[in-house]
Amino acid sequence: DIQMTQSPSTLSASVGDRVTITCRASQSISSWLAWYQQKPGKAPKVMIYKASSLESGVPSRFSGSGSGTEFTLTISSLQPDDFGTYYCQQYISYPITFGQGTRLEIK
């Protein structure tokens, strides 16, 4: 199974900050990676797919990059609504696996 490891586990940042979350795969997954945002009590929402493609309706301050085993999700200018937990997910092969999550708090 492909292990997905996110860092940091928790992140506290201020409105307007540039924020970066990292996801590492235990083996190459090419660009088959998605990022989700989840708010408490709600279902996850896809933000980025295929490592760098922005899902329709997602603000352009979100971007994804990387390929192979190292990926990043960047929020260029943090907004109050961006709080929540972010998960990466690989879908190059079964079983599909998620990272453990990064909790983003707004200072």
Partner 1 sequence: EVQLVESGGGLVQPGGSLRLPCAASGFSFSSHWMGWVRQAPGKGLEWLGNINQDGSGTHYVESVKGRFTISRDNAKNSLYLQMNSLRAEDTAVYYCARVPYDGNAYYDYWGQGTLVTVSS
Chain positions contacting partner 1, by CB under 8 A? 32, 34, 36, 38, 42-46, 49-50, 55, 87, 89, 91, 94-101
45-50 long-range contacts, Cβ below 8 Å, gap at least 24? 47/73, 47/86, 48/73
Q: To the nearest whole angstrom, how small is the minimum distance from the Cβ of residue 44 to partner 1?
A: 6
Return the number of the residue (10 or 77) whose C-beta is nearest partner 1.
10
Return the number of the residue (30 or 77) whose C-beta is nearest partner 1.
30
Could you give the CA distance from residue 6 to residue 100 in angstroms, rounded to a whole number? Answer: 6
Return the number of the residue (53 or 77) whose C-beta is nearest partner 1.
53
Q: How far is CA 43 from the centre of its chain?
A: 15
Q: To the nearest whole angstrom, how small is the minimum distance from the Cβ of residue 93 to partner 1?
A: 9
Could you give the CA distance from residue 59 to residue 4 in angstroms, rounded to a whole number? Answer: 25
